[in-house]
Structures are given as C-alpha cells and as structure tokens.
Amino acid sequence: MTRSRQTPEKPWTMLGALKWTASYFHSHGIDSPRASAEILLAHALELQRIDLYVRYDQPLQPAELDRYKSLIRRRIEREPVAYITGEKEFWSLSFRVSPAVLIPRPETESLVEAALAVLSENEPVRIWEPGTGSGAVSVAIARERSHCRIFSSDRSLEALAVARQNAVRHEVIDRVGFFAADWFEAFCCRERPFDAVVSNPPYIRRADMEGLAPEISRFEPRQALDGGPDGLDAVRRLIREAPRYLSPEGVLLLEIGYDQGPAVRDIVKSSGEYAAPEILKDYGGNPRVLKVRRR
C-alpha cells in the first residue's frame, strides 16, 4: 500500500483503502477483489462490512493500517480469506475454520438440503457424518432437526476441535457427538444402526490436485480433497461398507464431483445393497449429491 496519492496531511480513509486494495487485488488475479478487501478491512477493524460504508470517510489510525496491510500481504500470497479471518458462512451461520479443516462450500449446502428432505421433522433419527471437518454439515442439520442425534467423526483431532467449537457456538453440542475415527474403523458391530449416513468425502482426482487454485492446493488439507487416482477411493468405500451400519431402508447421502455420477451409479449397482440411486443437483445445476436407500 503506497502513499503516492495520499499524504501525511490526508491519511487513508476506509473508502480510500478499500478502493486501493480492490485494485491491487485485481491486478494480482485475486478472486472477488472488492469483497475480499471489504472482509479483510472489516476484520482488521473488528467491524461489520456495512460499517465500512457508514463510516467511509473515517481515517485509519497507523495501527489499524498496519493490521490491514498484514492481511493484504497474506491474501496476496493466496491464503484464503476464510483462513485469514478464521470464519466462513455456511447455511446462513458463521463457522470457525482453520487450516485443519476444509473451507465449507456453497455446493455442500445441497448435501444438507438432501438430508433434511429425507429426515422426519419430528421422529427421532440417528445420523452419522464421517469426515466431518469443520462440523458445518452436522451443525446445520442439528439446527434444523432438534430431535436428531448426530454422530460426527474425523481422523484429525485438530479438525474435531474446530467442529466441537462450532457445535458449542451454535448451541447444538447436546445433540452432536464427536469422536476420532478413520471412516468405519471405530465400529466393530451394528448393534445400533444409523438411519442416515451423510458425508462430503474427498473426491478430487489425485492427478488434478496440483492444478487446483493455489488457495486450495497450497492451504487446504490434502486429506480432505485427495480422492485417489480416480477420485473415488473414499466414495467407493463408503458405498460398499455403509449398508452394515444403516437401518433397513436407511439412506446414504454423499457429495460427489459434478462428473462422477455415472461411475458412482456403477459402484452402487455392483454393491447390490441399494435401491436405484438418485443424483441430486446443486444450486448451479451440477450433479452433486448421491442419494441411495439400503434395500
């Protein structure tokens, strides 16, 4: 941030800082440059974004400007805004995030919608979310279905700590339980089957990992993204093993890649454990969620 057009007699205002930063981000190929500038400045000043425009002509103090500059430098290095601020909105809720968890995406809200569509609004059900990450999916479901009992697992203890914080923040910790497990390894029997298994597993093809945006390939946890050679290692395992833990006519819901529908249908068919699969679309019209019921 240079003072070529600003002088000590005319310090940076909120609006002036936003305009400069948006232009700077744009010149460096940063996505959503204006929105990123607003979020980072609001975070640096501990304000809401709307406050930046209510107080647009307010001068920035030297300490405030220094904090903002440090955030700009981190974003120029392609660190995601969500990791810089430690927050990400999902399902109209604010979630704590860290580099230990995948940043919740808008398309994953389709997974929550699919779960809510098959869950009774008043009958108690038991749900398991393996690979919970930030806990966003479990927390969103728990907020909408207070009678559900949700079990959320992840092999990362750091991720589980973040997920628990989010459950406490949104007051659902009494009905969402967390435990460490690598998919099904925590279970040895099916004494208490689940009515639904809901998951957003890794589904990126390994060869495609390095071609992802730097914000993803350099900062987000690889284990939450890398789905193996064909992207379907975790999806395949969940489809094949879930029937052992699903109640009769229990439902399996998985987020998948937009182009993985045909391959996933074949995996479901070869298992012989399910009724005909459905592939549900996300808000962008892309195939996104596998829905299948146990026979």
The string of pLDDT tens digits covering residues 61-87 is: 999 999 999 999 999 999 999 999 999
40-46-48 Cα angle (round to 5) = 75
pLDDT of amino acid 10: 74
Same domain, 190 and 257: yes
Question: Using the 8-state DSSP alphabet, how is residue 66 labeled?
Answer: H
Same domain, 102 and 248: yes
Same domain, 119 and 265: yes
How many structural domains does the chain have? 2
Question: How far apart, in whole angstroms, are the C-alpha atoms of residue 183 and residue 166?
Answer: 21
pLDDT of amino acid 2: 56
Same domain, 185 and 69: no
Alpha-helix residue ranges (DSSP H) falling in 146-203: 157-169
Boundary of a domain, candidates 49, 77, 105: 77
Q: pLDDT-derived band of residue 276, with 50, 70 and 90 as boundaries?
A: very high
Decide if 86 is inside a domain.
Answer: no
Decide if 88 is inside a domain.
Answer: no
Structural domain boundaries enclosing 71: 14-77
Decide if 168 is inside a domain.
Answer: yes
Decide if 3 is inside a domain.
Answer: no
Boundary of a domain, candidates 47, 77, 107: 77
Same domain, 54 and 177: no
Mapping DSSP to helix (H, G, I), strand (E, B) and coil, where does residue 283 land?
Answer: coil
CATH number for position 243: 3.40.50.150
Q: pLDDT-derived band of residue 155, with 50, 70 and 90 as boundaries?
A: very high
Q: Using the predicted structure, report yes or no on whether residue 121 has a pLDDT greater than 90.
A: no
Same domain, 127 and 236: yes
Q: pLDDT-derived band of residue 258, with 50, 70 and 90 as boundaries?
A: very high
Mean pLDDT of 250-272: 96
Same domain, 35 and 150: no
Mean pLDDT of 205-224: 96
What does the mean pLDDT of the chain come to? Answer: 93
Same domain, 101 and 73: no
Q: How many residues does the chain have?
A: 295
Mean pLDDT of 136-152: 96
pLDDT of amino acid 1: 62
Decide if 286 is inside a domain.
Answer: yes
Question: How far apart, in whole angstroms, are the C-alpha atoms of residue 71 and residue 65?
Answer: 10
Q: pLDDT-derived band of residue 249, with 50, 70 and 90 as boundaries?
A: confident
Tell me the angle at which helices 14-27 and 33-45 cross, rounded to the nearest 10 degrees: 140
Mean pLDDT of 186-209: 86
Same domain, 21 and 164: no
Same domain, 59 and 110: no
pLDDT of amino acid 192: 63
Decide if 4 is inside a domain.
Answer: no
Same domain, 178 and 47: no
Instruction: Give the number of other Cβ atoms within 10 Å of residue 102's Cβ.
Output: 22
Decide if 6 is inside a domain.
Answer: no
Mean pLDDT of 129-150: 96
pLDDT of amino acid 171: 97
Q: Using the predicted structure, report yes or no on whether residue 20 has a pLDDT greater than 80.
A: yes
Same domain, 56 and 154: no
Q: Using the predicted structure, report yes or no on whether residue 6 has a pLDDT greater than 60.
A: no
